[in-house]
Structure 1
Amino acid sequence: MTRYVALLRAVNVGGTGKLPMSELRTMCESLGFTSVRTYIASGNVVFDSQLAEASVKSRLERCLETYAGKPVGVLIRTGAELAAVLAGNPFKSAASNRTVAIFLDAPPPADTLAGVSGRQQEDIALGLREIYVHYGSGMASSKLKIPAAKAGTARNMNTVAKLAELAAV
């Protein structure tokens, strides 16, 4: 049995993309996932499954598309991988609410940093399947564009830490 964390893209608490976390829990349970727990209403769910990561991802994405009527991207990490993302944060001394990990399905391309535009006071570093960004002046005024992150989803380090704690086996 593997403990997974699913991070949904484009999920919010209101407007389009609204998905109550109770519905997400029910969906995960209907797929046979066990010990299902959600964290904050932004599409974070922790669960156990005997399936491989690719199967977990495809089944959850199909279920979400049926529910939402449109594709909903899902990024999957094991509990151990999420703990490694937290440990690998290159901006540990920076404010955790101003530092994010942008989760990707694959390693960031080698030319990721060359494609960045609008950079002001942000620091950027590449992880295994993540892009770390520290927003020195906060995200609200940032003009940063990272084309390689388009299909990813970001979580700040406070959220990553809590999910890693929930996913600890």
Structure 2
Amino acid sequence: MKKYIVLLRGINVSGKNKLPMAELRDLLNDLGFKNVQTYIQSGNIILESDEGKSVICKKINQEIQTKFGYDVPVIARTIPQFKKAITSYPFPTDNTKIVAFVFLNKKVYETKVEVKDIENDQYLIDNDMVYIYCESSFSKTKLSNNLFERSLYVSATTRNYNTTLKLLELAESN
């Protein structure tokens, strides 16, 4: 069995797509995944499966849609892939409040997107990741999840530095 970190996009955000984590864990256990755990209320999952990432994502998406009526993008990474995403972060991490990881559902070949007036904010597109460094703060930046989805024709979900590190720590501790 392989361990995965699975990220759901848009769960429990601003009162939309409410999905209690206990119900999500039950759903995942019913699908046959092993050692399921969730972290905070925003769709962060660690699980084990013999199946590949695309099958896992499809199963979870379909079951959430069937049970809850939400079409939720699902993105999975193996532990080595998740670790590589963290170690490849190209910007300073001294102020973790302005650091983010955008996980993409597929590899992209573009290296730039059209965005104006980003001031000192920076991003780097790298295969199936976008790394963000937002000096202006996340509430003010134009480097949003929606921007990258529209510009790169992907599904994406963003996690801050602390959540990303915590997910890896939890996955490696079990």
1:5 corresponds to: 5
More off after superposition, 94-103 vs 12-21? 12-21
Look up the SS of the partner of 1:27 in the other structure. Answer: helix
Aligned equivalents of 2:116 and 2:4: distance in 1? 33
More off after superposition, 138-147 vs 19-28? 138-147
Deviation at 1:108, TM superposition (A): 2.8
1:87 corresponds to: 87
Deviation at 1:149, TM superposition (A): 7.3
Q: Which amino acid aligns with 1:65?
A: Q
Look up the SS of the partner of 1:117 in the other structure. Answer: coil
Percent identity over paired residues: 31
Task: Output the TM-score relative to the length of structure 2.
Answer: 0.88
**Preserved CA contact (<8 Å) 1:108 1:131:** no
Q: Which runs of 4+ in 1 moved over 4 A?
A: none
2:128 corresponds to: 129
Q: Deviations over 1:96-132 (max 9, x none)?
A: 221111100112332x414233422211112231100
Aligned equivalents of 2:155 and 2:55: distance in 1? 19
Q: Which amino acid aligns with 2:99?
A: T
**Preserved CA contact (<8 Å) 1:131 1:149:** no
**Preserved CA contact (<8 Å) 1:13 1:20:** no
Aligned equivalents of 1:4 and 1:92: distance in 2? 27
1:68 corresponds to: 68
Deviation at 1:15, TM superposition (A): 1.9
Structure 2 unaligned runs (5+)? Answer: none
1:21 corresponds to: 21
CA RMSD of aligned residues (A): 1.8
Structure 1 unaligned runs (5+)? Answer: none
1:120 corresponds to: 119
Deviation at 1:163, TM superposition (A): 0.7
Q: Deviations over 1:8-65 (max 9, x none)?
A: 0111165221111111111110111111110111100001111111111111110111
